[in-house]
Structure 1
Amino acid sequence: MVWRTAVRGGLLISIGYAGWIAGSLSERNKILNENVEYTDQFGSVLRKLPGLPIFATVSATSLPDRSDKLIPFPDEEPLVSSKPKVVNRISQIMRFGFPGLDNVRSLDDYVLSYDRRNRVAHWVFEHLTEQTVKRIEGVDRSQCQFTEDKSIHPYFRSLNSDYRGSGYDRGHLAAAGNHRTDQKHIEQTFLLSNMAPQVGEGFNRSSWNKLEKHVRKLTRKYCNVYVCTGPLYLPRKEADGKTYVKYEVIGANSVAVPTHFFKVIVGEKNDQTLEMEAYVMPNQPISDDTPLNVFQVPPESIERAAGLLFFDRISRDKLRCINGRKTTFV
């Protein structure tokens, strides 16, 4: 009698569990099959999708397997197009992997990961060629305005009022001068999610601008240039002998002022060889006569400080040079 009761109880539990699984799968399929779309302030149609599971990849940006070629595939559409397909363009930008997957947003010509706590991006990612950085008639930076990013929840946005009277510039992470093939592209670089508080004189308008121009010049040397840019909040030893991470915040939304900024760049030549450069600059006035190579650092030092992994789809033994020095790998 006891064993019959136990068997019946086990069957009831099994049936209930199976029903729960079926219901969960049905609800999951319902979510995945929803086709909810909305339009952002630039007229781009965005689709609401379920959140990424832990350790997931972003399938919309994954390239098909084509024997791991390192140059643009001949059967793909050209990079410069009046109406580029977003998925193809984002796949090109993120070709060598994501540094992280925290609050990733894809714009038409660059990708960013947003830090909701600090109201500044974790990183932005760009893909440049000699064609994409050329000036195009009708694309005018002076027509752009700094705009709050309405795709971000109001709790976590930075606003123009946060910068007003702070003494800091609204410094581009994805540089406006890198996105001149379309007026919409350059306008999207003026979203405040792409900005960080930067010292103006001696940094944003000087040394940082010099580094941005250097990156654009690399498109003359390489057929493809991939660049990841972001903020750092580095520790410093204080008078009491202890080490602290300290940074200022500005405005009503407490927008973080980074202590430093980084750029990690990979250039690809026509023969598919790859070279890397990595820079860290302090967010402070820098003398105009300071050469850029003073700010070159091992890329792994930035990875440790930022908690990111750059170009993780490129094995380091594929890099011929890092910061102008030949590696022992190639």
Structure 2
Amino acid sequence: MAEIRLDNVVKKFGNVTAINNVSFEIEDREFLVMLGPSGCGKTTTLRSIAGLEHPQEGDIFIGPRRVNTLAPADRDIAFVFQFYALYPHLSVQNNIAFPLKAAKVEPTEIKKRVINVAQMLRIEHILDRKPSVLSGGEMQRVAIGRSMVRRPKAFLMDEPMSNLDAKLRVDMRSELKSLQQQLGTTTVYVTHDQVEAMSMADRIAIMDKGQLQQIGKPTDVYNWPKNLFVAGFMGNPAMNLLPCCFESASQQLKIEHTNFAIKLTRNHLDLIRPSISENLVFGIRPEHISLSTTSIASGLKAKVHLVEPLGSANIVDIVLGQVSADKFVLLRVRTHPSIVPKSGETVWIQIDPKKIHIFDRSTTLVLSETA
């Protein structure tokens, strides 16, 4: 097992910077998920750790060794690709055993390791089958088994569940997390799926445009986003982010293109006053807004635009104002399934002041997390 460290890594493809001065450390036995949209640089970062890409600047360490100049085969890592890359002419048993045979491991040891891995992955019954007759979940297990059998210092996984159906992905998330905890192998896992990241990771590294935006525990990056990108990317539905300005006379946030003003706590006010920018962004997650179909004295009155029933909850779009004839200022609210207002109905909402986030519009950085 080993820790992995990146120091100021830069990778360019021509004039395009895929990784822009990225630095972070992955602890020994940690499960780190690299999360971000397509083209953000997460896979290029993973491939750089593996030695499949070569950064122009910076250093990469696996354990105490600087590995920049080492070939992939000499880094003692195992890579699980998005496409499982199984040998179609080999049985499951021989696919799993292939890296050990290439390393000239003794046949008795190979058999022992293959059986052990097959038992852990619950695929003993398919060892004699060829990949062409396997399901997606079975092929994924074989690909993981081929990596496990080598007993590497680290696993690198590039969206290994993206080809599975929704139900199988749910099952495999828990299986893979349990397996990683059982093996205790340092794991770097790339995905664009935030549910995978939140449910499996010890920590999440969020990337955008080749830069590391935030790294931390899943609950930390969700509850305390450091900038507008993280706030808008994490969560489904995402955080409500509305342009606003601070009114010093009323000590409130005025939401642009609306008649709504948000009262702030003392902690929020203390954070806003030193700010030189009056152009701010108000943020609140849908689950931190309560909605009532009956009048509330302290509530904000608004109309329902659209309701999305999800079974376990409803997502209600509330109209706060109008920018143009066809563009509304909307606030998304997550409600209990029993609360099902109709489109056009008047409702009253209350915002939890302790859950408000305020961002500087010019820098995109957070001014306050929670007061």
User: Is the TM-score greater than 0.5?
Assistant: no
Task: Decide which structure has the larger Cα Rg and report it.
Answer: 2
TM-score normalized with structure 1 length? 0.27
TM-score normalized with structure 2 length? 0.25
